[in-house]
Amino acid sequence: MAIYFQNTLVRTADFLKTSKRYSSSQSLSRAKKKGHIALKNVGSLVFAPGTAQQTAELYSVASWEGLRVIDAEKLPGGLTAINRIGKAIGVGEATIIEWGLFNRLDLYWVAGTFFANLLQAQSIAAASKK
């Protein structure tokens, strides 16, 4: 259990700001339906493909060196943003990140947002309340 970083996905809003090909979220959605772009859902958020350099510039990452980088295809299903997890189990986001830092929970950083598995977080929270 650890913290993993995804360096090739960009929030669709940020993608629209930096891309000259698409003018709105509707045009991006149409491109997805036609198969011109592969958007990725993580939790309830949608991300567009980018490059590691583009992602680093957008989210102020100095270097990917030394970080556990994971491919977009290897992101597990069932991920939830940690702010939603915190509300669901009654703990703060800092506590959930602490669990990831101390290898109690897998955390995934995607375009500036941390995600985790809700069921794992619930079991950790239940065990810590005992």
68-102: pLDDT as tens digits:
999 989 999 889 999 999 999 999 999 999 999 99
Q: How far apart are CA 92 and CA 89, in angstroms?
A: 9
Confidence class for position 1, pLDDT limits 50, 70, 90: low
Model confidence pLDDT, tens digit, residues 42-59: 988 999 999 999 999 999
To the nearest 10°, report the CA torsion of 17, 23, 26, 31. -100
Q: How far apart are CA 66 and CA 79, in angstroms?
A: 24
37: three-class secondary structure by DSSP: coil
24 CB-near residues (< 8 Å, 6+ apart): 16
Show Cβ contacts of residue 30 under 8 Å, excluding neighbours closer than 6 positions.
none
